[in-house]
């Protein structure tokens, strides 16, 4: 008899995922970027193995955080490598995404970009 896990604890917090859109002035000049949130996922922080660090280092990147989330069906169509994530006010680039054998979970390898700050003028207009 095989023991299967019925419930899993993804209770380390929520990861907000989305993309960055370039903002332009009326003349077409680039004036910044805007984070466009696509959704949120409950996550569990995972420990990174030495082979995880080697894999990311081969891509000339740095692994700052590895998380596990449930696999939402709508993310199958998205270009996962272009996603950005915001966790606890910190923005991360998605370096790589793996899944488990049963296709239940996604493992995100993240590189820290810095503190997340949405454009103040944009937020003022939303009120």
| pLDDT per residue as tens digits for the range 37-63 | 888 999 999 888 888 888 888 888 888
Kindly report the CATH number assigned to the domain that includes residue 92.
2.40.10.270
Domain assignment present for 2? no
Boundaries of domain holding 77: 13-115
Contact 18, 41 (CB under 8 A): no
Strand, helix or coil for residue 46: strand
Domain-embedded: residue 1: no
> Is 122 contained in some domain?
no
Cβ atoms of 15 and 108 within 8 Å: the answer is: yes
Residue 123 lies in a domain: no
Question: Is residue 120 domain-resident?
Answer: no
CA distance linking residue 97 with residue 110, whole number of Å:
9
Per-residue confidence band for 24, with pLDDT thresholds at 50, 70 and 90: confident
91 inside domain = yes
What is the spatial distance between Cα 44 and Cα 107, in angstroms, rounded to a whole number? 10
Strands 65-70 and 84-87: unpaired
Confidence of residue 82 (pLDDT cuts 50, 70, 90): confident
Q: What is the tally of structural domains in the chain?
A: 1
Q: Is residue 32 part of a domain?
A: yes
In a domain, 125, yes or no: no
């Amino acid at each position: 008899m095989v023991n299967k896990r019925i419930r899993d604890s993804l209770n380390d917090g929520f990861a907000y995922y989305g993309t960055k859109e370039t903002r332009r002035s009326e003349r077409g000049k680039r004036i910044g970027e805007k984070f466009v949130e696509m959704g949120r996922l409950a996550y569990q922080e995972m420990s990174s193995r030495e082979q995880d660090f080697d894999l990311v280092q081969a891509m000339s990147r740095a692994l700052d955080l590895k998380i596990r989330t449930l696999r939402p069906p709508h993310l199958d169509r998205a270009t996962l490598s272009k996603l950005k994530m915001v966790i606890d006010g910190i923005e991360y680039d998605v370096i790589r995404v793996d899944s488990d054998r049963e296709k239940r979970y996604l493992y995100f390898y993240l590189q820290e970009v810095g503190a997340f700050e949405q454009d103040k003028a944009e937020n003022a207009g939303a009120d």
